[in-house]
Amino acid sequence: MATWSAPGKVILFGEHSVVYGKPAIAMAIKPRVQVTVRHSRYYQKPNSPYISECFRLTDVKGSVYVRSQLPSASGLGSSAAVTVATLFAINDEFELGYTREEVGDLAFEVEKATQGGRASATDTYVSTFGGLVFIRGSEKRRLLPPQNLSIVIGNSLISHNTAEMVEKVAELRRTSPVIANGIMDAIGGVTMEAMHNLENPKELGVLMNRNHALLDALGVGHPVLSQLVLAARNAGAYGAKLSGAGGGGCIWALCSKGSRNRVAGAIEDCDARPITTSIDTEGARRE
Ligand code: MEV
């Protein structure tokens, strides 16, 4: 029997423009997902298509047990965390001998196969390696020195569809290329500034607010996300912005240790679900 866990993720800066080659920053966060895999001749088809695909791709048979406090379909990378933890547990239980990098690559293959060819390698990379990750374009990812950012996530509980939001931006690029490209360039600039201000929460907060406004201008905002962002700022956050595809899902707020509870309370007052968290520097690990 092997049990492995993997962290969720939050996109800090640069969502959407990263699809067009601009930089982005993502971070691994708690809560983690835990998966236990047991060698078994009696293979019961798992409920999750991601887990089924992990077993299919590695060509092994076993039973699986998942514990997750990561909300699904909220942009916090829960499918990637489940996939990564399952593959590491399979690799361990069946002694397949894959390296960490190889398991990370396999996890991306599982996500692609399960999501009809469209997946972001960022989610599986962050879950595999943990920490703070810089992304440029679709292929290049590298770990940044970890930062102790104190954050509160606000889950709007409004479901959203990443593919639809990505298509919405593509449509704006087709109809109004000058506007769309101008906004993307600005988001790229904000992200690079953020890279150089990761230790300066006040400045980072200002940059978050700018990034949020630019995402709104790109058409991926939602009235409830704006409400959450304003509530978090009014409660004392340095800054707040939507995270991920938008149109629903989550926001994240950068807080001082002293303002965290107030910000979480303000999010709750908006009938959304707060998650108080910080960086998880460990990627997938054996439990
Ligand atoms: C979705 O979590 C992030 C997007 O930038 C899409 C992607 O990078 O694949 C909107």
Residue 253 region by backbone torsions, left for phi larger than 0, else alpha for psi between -120 and 50, else beta? beta
Average pLDDT over residues 56-83: 93
123 is an active site residue: yes
**Mean pLDDT on 200-217:** 98
Q: If one looks up domain 2-146 in CATH, what number appears? A: 3.30.230.10
**Per-residue model confidence as pLDDT tens digits over 3-30:** 999 999 999 999 999 999 999 999 999 9
Main-chain dihedrals φ then ψ at residue 76, nearest 5 degrees: -100, 15
**Would you list the domain boundaries of the chain?**
2-146, 151-277
In CATH terms, the fold of domain 151-277 is: Alpha-Beta Plaits (3.30.70)
- Spatial CB neighbours of 78, under 8 Å, sequence gap ≥ 6: 8, 33, 68, 70, 71, 72
Provide residues with CB under 6 Å of ligand 1.
11, 15-16, 18-19, 75, 120, 162, 166, 244-245
pTM given for the model: 0.94
Distance 286 CA to ligand 1 centre (A): 28
